[in-house]
Amino acid sequence: MKHRNLLALSLCALFTTSAFAIEPPNLGLLRNDLVQYHDSGKYNNQISTVYQRAENYLATRIHENDQSAHPKKLAVVFDIDETALSNYTDLHALNFGGTSQSIDDALQKAKDPAISPALDLYHEAMQNHVAVFFVTGRKPYLQNATIKNLTSAGYKSWTGLYLKPMSYNLPSVAPYKSGARKQIESEGYDIVLNIGDQKSDLAGGYADKSFKLPNPYYYIL
């Protein structure tokens, strides 16, 4: 028995000490999987599931606030790309790569459609006088295109739109995003929920609850 355990441990060490003990996934095949994930409807289904949970939570919080003797100024925070708007058509056209310039060029076109359940949550918030804030990693030179795109996609108004300052130079966007939420709460809002497709959208607090959407298409530290 002892020997068998030792053998298992040795095998385990053999496979975990080398990063390439198993050949990494093939990029060409992974790209096919990414397209299939989208085209099969799984991506949209998983997005809808997360948004449904967020909507249920928001409804509960609105109800509680309505009953409260001391109602709060409620707010929701949305990230933009792959959260409120979908860049999938451009991501696919760029073969899930592209340079920062080609991605900016795509965003400048301001033609991205709304992610449909995001628009539902947005309407739910607006109809119940919950303030909507957008906190995005997009740069300030994309402000006009962003406003144009949000508006044409159906997000007709909002209380605040935060774009990442050009001077921001930390490796992760998380401190910028949590700083924006801190600022919002310092203005007297209670951020009921924060929703985004990257962990860095959600890290650092200043939201009662966070909702993580799927995004296998890119990673933002």
- Min dist. Cβ of residue 135 to Mg ion (A): 10
Locate tokens 């009953």: which residue? 67
Strand partners of residue 215 = none
Long-range contacts of 154-157 (CB under 8 A, 24+ apart): 154/114, 154/119, 154/122, 155/84, 155/114, 155/119, 155/122, 157/126, 157/132
User: Binding to Mg ion (CB under 5 A): which residues in 196-215?
Assistant: 197
* Selected range binding Mg ion among 18-26, 68-76, 161-169, 190-198, rule: CB under 5 A: 190-198
CB closer to Mg ion, 90 vs 190: 90
- Enumerate residues 129-188 that contact Mg ion by CB under 5 A: none
Q: Which is nearer to Mg ion, 73 or 147 (CB)?
A: 147
Site string for Mg ion, 94-133 (x = CB under 5 A): ----------------------------------------
Smallest distance, Å, CB 137 to Mg ion? 7
In the complex, the smallest distance separating the C-beta of residue 79 from Mg ion, rounded to whole angstroms, is: 4
How far from chain centre, in Å, is Cα 141? 21
Which structure tokens are listed for 88? Answer: 């999938």
Return the closest-CA partner of residue 62 out of 148, 127, 106. 127
Residues with Cβ < 8 Å from 205, sequence gap 6 or more?
178, 181
Q: In whole angstroms, what is the distance from residue 134 CA to residue 164 CA? A: 11
Report helix, strand or coil for 140. Answer: helix
Shortest gap between Cβ of 158 and Mg ion (angstroms)?
16
Backbone angles phi, psi at 171, to 5 degrees: -65, -30
Residue 82 or 112 with smaller CB distance to Mg ion? 82
The answer to whether 208 and 192 have CB atoms below 8 angstroms apart is: yes
Both tokens of residue 83? 């959260």
Per CB under 5 A, which of residues 75..94 are in contact with Mg ion?
79, 81-83
As a whole number of angstroms, the distance between CA 210 and CA 174 comes to 13
Cβ-based nearer residue to Mg ion, 62 or 132 = 132
Residue of closest CB approach to Mg ion: 81
Write down the least CB distance from residue 156 to Mg ion, Å: 21
Residue with Cβ nearer Mg ion (55 or 197):
197
Q: Minimum Å distance from CB 111 to Mg ion? A: 17
Residue numbers at the binding site for Mg ion (CB under 5 A): 79, 81-83, 197
